[in-house]
Amino acid sequence: MPTDPLPRIALVVEDDDDIRGLLVQLLGMEGFAVTEASTGLAGIELARALSPELVTLDLNLPDLDGVEVCSELRRFSDAYIIMLTARVTETDKLTGLETGADDYISKPFSPRELRARIAALFRRPRRAPAAARTDEDELKRAEEVQRSLLPRAAVHLPGYDVGGAFQPCRNVGGDFYDWYPTGDRLNLTVADAMGKGMGAALVAATARATLRSCSGIESLGQAFASAGRILASDLEASGSFVTMFHARLDPLRHTLGYVDAGHGLALHVSADGTYRRLPGGGPPVGAWGGGGWSADEIAVAPGDRLAIVSDGLLDAFATLGEALDAAARVVAAAGNAQDAADALVELGRAGAVEDDVTAVVVRRLPALRLEAAA
């Protein structure tokens, strides 16, 4: 049986909300699966994760110049790049084209002209046509995108160890976890985008890139609110939402600040094995409105563990309480954070595996081990 052609992926990098919305609508009408970014850094992250076939790129971005973004994209991407900008001098156009852009359109632009130029570019294809790809190819590509969102580098943080594990379901969902440093602190994220397949992977990639682009904001609450507002406007148009647990670990103060946006599956497991479920801090991003999230903070004592899991774990248990009790037991029994994360994923695999299972565990080393290390 013939399958419908799979949509090509387009990335819109534009800081003006109205223009970005127009471009998303236009490209969607042309049959693209469209994702978007309002900053250059977020655009680069998304391009690296999603391998789009087309990028529309504004030059006047708030963080990087569009020429810098184009140059960076050309290090790893063969996407068609169309620069859309108010810069109209011949020098600007030549600079853009020499940097690697395939076309250059001045603002204000004609939608008909944009469509015609895109059609002209794709008459000279660089890749196999989308019609040659099957549904199985799409799932494989979605899984590749999902796995590309996971951190590649291990965490080396004095006094702590950190581990993460991920098991995709058959249909590929929207789970991901992430960690990266900002100064002396470590950012941690566990998130689940609604849906399956490439659509969920696109939403997950957008969420990850947006959170990373806001990591320079000093206040965790303000950083999450900024990322949440950007994402909420994007998600509202697609009718999707994302549950998130986003945290910053301060190893000097031994505190963990966090925002729980509809995730609800974070456990603080004490050294003696007792645990408590951390309270939520607002709705899922995109569920309704663009705000309402609050940040909280916990102290992390020697031997304490923080475990964040996705809701795929719940499929293996009859009740939420049973799932949390079992999760706390395996976390308390594990010898290190990575073993604990692996054990949590194994718990989830005992179910029907209808959803991704993701786990991140942070452990503060016991006092005796710290003294021995010193």
| pLDDT tens-digit map of 263-302 | 999 999 999 999 999 998 888 988 776 678 999 999 999 9
Alpha helices (H) in the chain, listed in sequence order:
17-29, 40-50, 66-73, 90-99, 111-122, 135-148, 197-213, 220-238, 320-333, 337-349, 367-373
Q: What are phi and psi of 110, to 5 degrees?
A: -90, 125
141-373 has the same fold as 9-133: no
Q: In what order do the strands lie in the sheet with 33-37?
A: 33-37, 9-13, 54-57, 80-85, 103-106
Calpha distance 204→195 (Å, rounded): 10
Q: How far apart are CA 181 and CA 174, in angstroms?
A: 23
Considering only residues 82 and 239, tell me which one the structure prediction assigns the higher pLDDT. Answer: 82
Give 97-131 pLDDT, tens digit per residue.
Answer: 888 899 999 888 889 999 999 999 988 776 544 44
| Contact between 229 and 250 (Cβ < 8 Å) | no
CA-wise closest residue to 162 among 180, 182, 184: 180
Q: Among 307, 320, 316, which Cα is nearest to 347's?
A: 316
pLDDT tens digits for range 261-272? 999 999 999 999
Q: Which residues, 6 or more positions from 77, have their beta carbon under 8 angstroms from its beta carbon?
A: 47, 48, 51, 52, 55
Both tokens assigned to 54: 């087309």
pLDDT at 289: 63
* 3-state SS assignment for residue 226: helix
- Asked if 329 and 272 touch (Cβ cutoff 8 Å), the reply is no
- Residue 46 in contact with residue 206, Cβ under 8 Å? yes
Report how far residue 52's alpha carbon sits from residue 261's, in angstroms, rounded to the nearest whole number.
29
Q: Identify which has the larger pLDDT, 362 or 354.
A: 362
What's the CATH code, domain 9-133? 3.40.50.2300
HSE toward the beta carbon, residue 341, CA cutoff 13 A: 20
Domain ranges of the chain: 9-133, 141-373
Q: Between β-strands 9-13 and 54-57, what pairing exists: parallel, antiparallel or unpaired?
A: parallel
| CB-CB neighbours of 352 under 10 Å | 11
User: CATH second-level architecture of 141-373?
Assistant: 4-Layer Sandwich (3.60)
pTM listed for this prediction: 0.71
